[in-house]
Structure 1
Amino acid sequence: MESGTCRVYITGVFPELEEGRFSAKGLAGDVFTVEADFLSDSFERVSGHLLIRHETRQEWERVRMEDLGNDRFRGHFRLTETGFYVFTVEAWIDHALTWQENLRIKLQDRQSVEHEIAEGIRLFSRMAEDAAPEDKPRLEQINSELAGTDTFHLALSQEVTDWIHRYPVPRHRTRYRRELTVFAERERAAFSAWYNLFPRSTAPAKGLHGTFATTAKLLPRMAELGFDVLQIPPVHPIGRQFRKGRNNAAVAQPGEPGVPYAVGNELGGHDAIHPELGTLDDFRHLIRQAAAHGIEIAMDLAVQCAPDHPWVSQHPGWFRHRPDGSIQYAENPPHKYQDSYPFDFECDDWENLWKALRDVVFCWAEWGVRLIRADQPHGKPFLFWEWLIRETRAKYPDLLFVAESFTKPKTIDLLGKIGFAQNYTYFIWRNTKEELTEYVHELAGKSAFLRPNFWPNTHDINPFPLQSGLEPVFLTRFFLAATLSSNYGIYGPVFEQMYHEAFPGQEEYLNSEKYEIAHWEWDRENKLTLLIRLVNRIRKENSALQRTDNLTFVHLPNDALIGYLKVHENGNQVLCVVNLDPHHRQSAGIYLPPALIGRREDEPYLVHDLLTGNRWQWQGDWNYVELDPAILPLHLFRIEYPVS
């Protein structure tokens, strides 16, 4: 129980996730911000500290918290390395600041301040006792000057205020009742451009099966396009029993390759390599070659087994059985997945099941994998993922899990809290200005635990707007994904070549690569590939585009136009404007108050379109934009000044 002499009540601490059960998200090198309400029982001034330490250290570092008004305080701390940080806050009645404030008020009211001066001398004597040796002489000098005849100017000076902040003399600190945590991850968790392909579809000639070697030959092109993550589906042996055929046919025809997500056959399971792709040494070589091009390989974790996976015969109790004794295949009505068996996480042997899946992740980590995309994690127990991520962080703290989670919003939120570094989102179904604005605002309120990864398409989803095949739609959907979010991805060759044929009436691709081997013209160039290359370069050159929680929508009185400003702490400022109408030229005034970019009303500045090289001089609150989808429906302005 706290001492009855503690007179500040602490509440409203942010971020605090589920009463401290989960860790907030942070990034090594970034500033971490904490806010809290400090409530006192009187008019006296309150001060507080943010206390933070890395998990490997015992000593707290204290940072003064800024008074935001209305009892709200904020503190900042730079996370200098990866791993867990522990943090909390403390507050106290600040008698020194109260003394200075009372002195100011009494002087303005022409009251006697004899007692206040005496109190100031006493306070600075205590400060001098606690001060570092190099600060003692000045504090003692101030104390001596306060005893003089003309002390008011000094007592109310900013210098004295700064000394009060540097050497607080709290009598009774209130410490928040919980110690909270933030997990600082590496930069890739916050900034990445993903390219998804099927290695079996990388062969140079039609009709051949691609390999890790043919995939490696594409790495220079992917790096030149600006991608830094290559995401591939499972690379393990594919089940032969109940194998699916072309366009999800229930029965495969001879020679059809099957679905990579039906993991396992007599050659092995999740720790084996599909022999037609190559050997384990070939895969390790691909990982090393990718790294040499600045690209990471993201593995797909499919938590399921084909009927002929070794685990099915070795551990039949890990699977759910029908009354007739047969194993129940996976279903998500009306969809049926006869080629895959889901695990029964309620089985009696659940602990060994968990350990086996953990060992798969550890095996991949030994191969060199540091990015894992979990396939539909919302269909497996949350406690399992919480445990798996905790176990993995303890041994491989740089390994990142990404949740492919198109599910209910609260479930997506929970996966983020559990520890997934990134989450797929509903961006794929947000198309209008109102939908996009509302959704990005919603995500901004979740930045403490959720990092969105925006995909305009996936190998599972061919959204209806893209089925039009209109070039401006592909351009705008790519651009929105890559600039609204600092993490984004595309289902590579399908998207960049603007393939759009759909299974009738569904948001799925006709002749999907999930069920067959495709052949792509990897050297094809079009306006979209040019835009991808350019935007990825611009993202790497402009830090404002490397974070997601730094966005402000700007007003455009035209629902076909959407605009947003992104600002980084180093001063980099980027303004994006998009024409959402693929058919017509659109124009409008754009309202950008100069105060938002640190300018005065009378100060001109340049907006430099990094896509075209054009520059315009703007000034004041209102300026003008016009975009023709037949030319380019996008502006990516860098705000530059001064104007010469």
Structure 2
Amino acid sequence: MTGLDAKRILIEDVRPAVDGGLYPIKREVGDRVTVTAAIFRDGHDKLVAWLLSRPVGKKTWNRSPMRCTNPGLDEWAGEFTVGDPGFEEYAIEAFCDQFGSWASDTRKKVEANVDVASDVLEGMAMARRALEWLPKKVQTFVKDQLKAAEAYQDPRARAQVLLAPALVDALSGNPDTATRVQSPVFRVRVDRVGARFAAWYECFPRCCGREKGKHGTFRDVEDRLPEIRKMGFDVLYFPPIHPVGFTKRKGPNNSLVAGKNDPGCPYSIGSSFGGHDAIEPALGTLKDFQRLVKKGAEAGLEIALDFAINCSPDHPYLKAHPDWFSHRPDGTIKFAENPPKKYEDIYPLNFDTPDRAGMWNEMKRVLLFWAEQGVRIFRVDNPHTKPFGFWEWLIAEVQAAFPDVIFLAEAFTRPRVMKALAKLGFTQSYSYFTWRNFKAEIIEYFTELTTPPVCEYMRANLFANTPDIFPTFLQRAGRPGYKIRAVLAATLSPVYGIFQGFELCEGVPVPGKEEYQHSDKYEIRVRDWNAPGNIKDLITRLNHARRDHPALQENENLRFHRADSQHILFYGKSLGPDHLLVAVNLDPFEKHHSWVYVPIADYGFGPADTYQVHDLITNRTYLWKGERNYVELDPHVEPANVFVVRKWVSKEENFDYY
């Protein structure tokens, strides 16, 4: 009969998976991926399940056995380790365990004194058939056991030989092809560890000089490398470094008229000096940039570039590809708008152009050009205003050539759009952290980010500030507020960043807006990087703590704990023996205290046990006991504790004095 499915085994609810496997999960090099599923069949025969994994493009599967973790609910689990950056895939294979099922039933019959003569013959036949697929070493063992069983005439004696655990283990897993089923294939995008763990520092190279009014250069940035690295940063990110347009150039504070010496906005890309594959002459040459990339790497800093698909009215694309732009009925070209905001100095590309292939391939060429210069991180400006399919294609194309490239989506947009961009390939995403300031909303948001399904595909890069956003909280909170946001950003997520000036607690807002007056986007600024009141020491301590403690380098291990005060946020991260607890006073104006509740069972402590907590911010050590303990945080002194939890040693020669 045709059209009848004789399948006896079902594989359901395979996890992790994103939208049922439509999109890949994300992991980092060397990660162990735990895969779970419900695997069951009709009747009571035993099952065997294997987890299959391989790099995409390989023909042969790596196979590892899965284990039944909950027989009553038919829950199974297995693990595999991902390798180099790129794509891997995984699936589950299950089939009936013929010999295991036979052994289980026969053992019951032996125990009940039931005749097993026929059963023994059946078991021996199964063992002989298994010789066709068993490894040679195991074949020898099975043959020896069959000879031992045949030496007995008594069926029960033969059964005892066949039911020996070693033989049952060797013969279980016989691939009964008649019952074999396989799940759909799922994918995992493997990125380098820097996709998950890094501290970013953003600066405009032109604002790294020392002379007021003088355009900074790449050589000026080189002079800042030791200081930035000393603070503990891993990534040095630049807004666009390309030639800035002259036509309709913006002046200070986004004014419509630029003075003779005003540098314009770097996001207005393109002039007679070139476009997206050229460098603003005032910054230096391509050779200077290559030197900076090398010097940065030597200092331990990776250079990241902005990829902004913006064109000034002077961009070479306007002459070479006029059909890439939107034209009004009067013949003028549409400039960028986000009503009521207008960007007269920027012409966006028209992604509905008939020359879609030409435009897409040009964007690919630009990214590959910079990748060839040593850039492996791109922060993408406003990706939510371009087609989803474009990003899915472009990211895949670039990562096929350079698998270690990281893409950060700067998309302050609706949740579904932000999540879709992450699913389609963006390595990291900006987040709503900027606007999460109170206890309940922080707990709700970060619980979502660090638990499935979101944590399987989205990595939130927490920027405490940006050139575009001067958060209301920082405008009002003063220096304590900068400290609070620094601690939250550095400890809630393994990847975070700041924009230059944050460490100086600087900033004057545009009245009524979350924007900076005298923003680096529109003028050249010179700073005293050691100005009084800076929080460089705190940032350094936080970044060193992140580097020293593996628990702070992970995302899914964030746990919020009880604190009685509504102003005190209390949370922890653990990885193996590394346990950290963080208490933050969210009020930048007043001192608050609270009872906090430590998950002592997770740390192996009992209710009467005393243990150490060492604060990495103040370098002080305290002895706590049991679950309930006390914190008091003055924002004008230090608004937070970052505790390392350790066992208390009672002998003075063993005490860790730090």
Q: TM above 0.5, one fold? A: yes
- Identify which range, 618-627 or 443-452, moves more after superposition: 618-627
* 1:316-338: CA deviation from partner (whole Å, max 9, x where unpaired): 11000111010000001111000
> What residue in structure 1 maps to residue 653 of structure 2?
none
Code of the residue aligned with 2:350 in structure 1: it is D
Q: Which SS does the other structure have where 2:212 is aligned? A: coil
The amino acid that maps onto 2:270 is: G
CA distance in 2, matches of 1:111, 1:643: 59
Distance 1:226 1:581 in 2: 27
1:17 aligned to 2:18? yes
Amino acid at match of 1:508: E
Q: Which residue of 508, 524, 527 corresponds with 2:515?
A: 508
- Name the CA shift for 1:160/1:194 in 2 (closer, same or farther; >3 Å): farther
Q: Which residue number corresponds to residue 654 of structure 2?
A: none
In the alignment, what sits opposite 1:79?
Answer: 82
Cα distance change of structure 1 residues 531 and 104 upon mapping to structure 2, 3 Å threshold: farther
Q: Cα gap change, 1:29/1:321 in structure 2, threshold over 3 Å: closer, same or farther?
A: same
Select the residue among 559, 572, 578 that pairs with 2:566: 559
Name the structure 1 match of 2:537. 530
Residue aligned with 2:11, SS: strand
2:464 paired residue number: 456
Matched, 1:491 2:494: no
2:337 corresponds to which residue? Answer: 331
Once the two structures are TM-superposed, the CA of residue 450 in structure 1 deviates from its matched residue by 0.8
- 2: CA distance, partners of 1:556 / 1:439: 18
Aligned residue number for residue 295 of structure 1 = 301
> Residues 642, 41 of structure 1: CA spacing in aligned structure 2 closer, same or farther, 3 A cutoff?
farther
| Aligned-partner SS, 2:458 | coil
Letter in 1 for 2:313: P
- CA deviation profile, 1:475-522 (whole Å, cap 9, x unmatched): 111111111111100012x21111131100111111111111111112
Give 1:260's aligned residue. 266
- Cα distance in 1 between the residues matched to 2:114 and 2:558: 51
For 1:614 and 1:98, the matched residues in 2 are separated by 61
Distance in structure 1 (CA, Å) of the matches to 2:397 and 2:7: 40
Letter in 1 for 2:585: N
Is the CA contact (8 Å cut-off) linking 2:612 and 2:623 kept in structure 1? yes
The equivalent residue for 1:230 is: 236
Is 1:132 matched with 2:135? yes
Deviation at 1:82, TM superposition (A): 1.9
Contact 1:103–1:116 (CA under 8 A) maintained in structure 2: no
Q: How far did residue 290 of structure 1 move?
A: 0.4
* Cross-structure match for 2:584: 578
Q: Larger deviation: 89-98 or 407-416?
A: 89-98
Residue 28 of structure 1 is matched in structure 2 by 29
Write the distance in 1 (CA, Å) between the matches of 2:461 and 2:207.
Answer: 25
C-alpha displacement of 1:107 = 8.4
Residues 346-396 of structure 1 deviation map (CA, whole Å, 9 limit, x = unaligned): 011111111111111111112111111000111111111111111111211
Work out whether 1:637 is the aligned partner of 2:637.
no
Among candidates 482, 489, 495, match of residue 490 of structure 2: 482
Segments of 5+ residues of structure 1 without an aligned counterpart are: none
Alpha-carbon distance, 1:13 to partner: 2.2
Paired residue for 2:91, among 81, 88, 92? 88
**Conservation of the 8 A alpha-carbon contact between 2:323 and 2:353:** yes
CA deviation profile, 1:200-252 (whole Å, cap 9, x unmatched): 11111212110000011000011111101011111111111111111111222
Tell me the residue number matched to 2:476: 468
- Corresponding residue for 2:602? 596
- How far 1:454 moved relative to its partner? 0.6
Paired residue type of 2:237: Q
The AA in structure 1 aligned to 2:194 is R
CA offsets per residue over residues 56-113 of structure 1, 9 Å max, x none?
Answer: 53210112223343233222111122221121112223345545665787789x6748
Matched letter for residue 77 of structure 1: F
Q: C-alpha displacement at 1:124, in angstroms?
A: 5.7
347, 351, 355: which one aligns with 1:345? 351
Question: Partners in 1 of 2:516 and 2:34 — Cα distance?
Answer: 43
**1:246–1:164 distance in 2 versus 1, CA, 3 Å:** farther
How far the C-alpha of 1:18 sits from its partner, in A, is 4.5
- Aligned 8 A contact 1:230 1:295 in 2: yes
Distance 1:470 1:39, change over 3 A: same
Indicate if the aligned counterparts of 2:46 and 2:100 stay in contact, CA closer than 8 A.
yes
CA distance in 2, matches of 1:438, 1:339: 40
C-alpha deviations, 1:13-37, integer Å up to 9, x for none?
Answer: 2333355443221211111232322
CA contact 1:96–1:169 (8 Å) conserved in 2: no
Aligned pairs for 1:147-186 (under 5 A) are 163=170, 167-176=173-182, 178-186=184-192
Which residue number in structure 2 is paired with residue 209 of structure 1? 215
Are 2:571 and 2:581, in contact at CA under 8 Å, matched by a contact in 1?
yes
- Normalised to the residue count of structure 2, the TM-score between the two structures is 0.90
Q: State which of 400, 420, 439 in structure 2 corresponds to 1:394.
A: 400
Task: Note if 1:251 corresponds to 2:257.
Answer: yes
Deviation at 1:39, TM superposition (A): 3.6
Find the counterpart in structure 1 of residue 9 from structure 2.
Answer: 8
Q: Aligned-pair distance for 1:50?
A: 1.4
Alignment gaps of 5+ in structure 2:
651-658
The structural deviation recorded for 1:276 is: 0.6
The answer to whether residue 291 in structure 2 is matched with residue 285 in structure 1 is yes
Q: 1:125 to 1:216 in 2, by over 3 A?
A: same
Q: CA deviation at 1:301?
A: 0.6
AA aligned opposite 2:568: L
Q: Secondary structure of the residue that 2:445 maps to in structure 1?
A: helix
Contact kept? 1:469, 1:500, Cα under 8 Å? no
Equivalence for 1:437: 443
Asked if residue 55 in structure 1 is aligned to residue 56 in structure 2, the reply is yes
Task: Quote the residue 1:364 is aligned against.
Answer: 370
AA paired with 1:55? V
Q: SS where residue 455 of structure 2 aligns?
A: coil
Q: Answer whether contact 2:503 2:534 (CA < 8 A) is retained.
A: no
For residues 438 and 102 of structure 1, the distance between their equivalents in structure 2, rounded to whole angstroms, comes to: 51
User: 2:116, 2:156 within 8 Å by CA — same for their partners in 1?
Assistant: no
Q: Kindly indicate whether the alpha-carbon contact (under 8 Å) linking 1:45 and 1:94 is maintained by their aligned counterparts in 2.
A: yes
Classify 1:256/1:120 alpha carbon distance in 2 versus 1 (closer, same or farther; 3 Å): same
- Contact kept? 1:100, 1:156, Cα under 8 Å: no
TM-aligned CA deviation for residue 403 of structure 1: 0.6
SS state of the match for residue 217, structure 1?
Answer: helix
Q: Which amino acid aligns with 2:35?
A: V
Contact 1:242–1:339 (8 Å) recurs in 2? yes
Report the Cα offset of residue 180 of structure 1. 2.4
**Structure 2 match to 1:547:** 554
Between the aligned partners of 1:68 and 1:214, the Cα distance in structure 2 is 59
Specify whether residues 39 and 533 from structure 1 end up closer, same or farther in structure 2 by C-alpha distance, changes over 3 A only.
Answer: same
The structure-2 alpha-carbon separation of the partners of 1:98 and 1:305, relative to structure 1 and needing over 3 Å to count, comes to same
Q: Distance in 1 between matches of 2:113 and 2:177?
A: 27
- Judge conservation of contact 2:597–2:629 (CA < 8 Å) in 1: yes
Q: Secondary structure at the match of 1:264?
A: coil
Alignment of 1:366-385 (within 5 A): 366-385=372-391
Deviations 1:238-292 (A, max 9, x none): 1111111111112222221110000011111111111110111111111110010
- Please give the secondary structure, in 1, of the residue aligned with 2:279: coil
- Code of the residue aligned with 1:566 in structure 2: it is K
Report which stretch shifted further, 604-613 or 367-376.
Answer: 604-613
% same residue = 38
